[in-house]
Structure 1
């Protein structure tokens, strides 16, 4: 019984090691042999809901420009969901986006899109 448990543990370790190596090989193949994977530089954002208004505050501490957009889904079926105009937040810059619903806010989120250099 002990030998069987050891064999199962060794087999599991070998399989996990193989999966880890496969993931690394896949990541290298996706980005090329000499290209490091691109780091994600996205602005730090937070949202505040006050009644029927939503405000997003975004700050970008990174050296790349990030395009942010506020999305609001209203709670009532007849209340139109809306998306703000995208705002480009440059390095060390700050942006404030505001949207509102007629009645209650169902949910709100920020989307990020990196701006090419």
Structure 2
């Protein structure tokens, strides 16, 4: 492919991406209160998942997870260490009940490359 064709293809792709992001979302209105099309009940969306704040200071990781929903959440802290000889860790699963906050901690011997929290339904 010639450079000018590559530029044209990249420009068209970028234009398509911007147009897709800028297009307004069209939502259909249900035919009645709490109803979908044809009068059937609309599906309920279960709210789920704790909100977690993770901070790294030196070789230590701390995450606070708060669950604002009425369904329990199982959270787990994962730590990836920067040095090749330092062992990465997956913490134990911890249940976060409704309206509860838990503190998760971990550490590396040296620097932390990244840390994240995974969520699982009860």
Shorter-chain TM-score tier: 0.5 to 0.7
Higher helix share: 1
TM-score normalized with structure 2 length: 0.64
1:36 Cα deviation after fit = 1.6
Match of 2:113 in 1: 106
Give distance in 1, aligned partners of 2:72 and 2:114: 26
SS in 2 for 1:108: strand
Q: Which aligned pairs between 1:90-105 and structure 2 lie closer than 5 A?
A: 90-105=97-112
SS of the residue corresponding to residue 70 of structure 1 reads: strand
- Secondary structure of residue in 1 paired with 2:99: coil
The SS at the match of 1:98 is strand
Q: SS at 1:61's partner residue?
A: coil
What do you get for the CA RMSD once the two structures are aligned?
2.0
After the TM superposition, which segments of 4 or more aligned residues of structure 1 sit over 2 Å from their partners? 37-40
Match of 1:74 among 69, 81, 85: 81
TM-score by length of 1: 0.67
Give unmatched runs, 5+ long, in structure 1.
Answer: 1-19, 21-32
1:41 aligns with 2:48: yes
How many Å apart are 1:35 and its aligned residue? 7.1
Structure 2 gaps of 5+ residues are: 1-25, 27-39
**Distance in 2 of aligned mates of 1:34 and 1:82:** 45
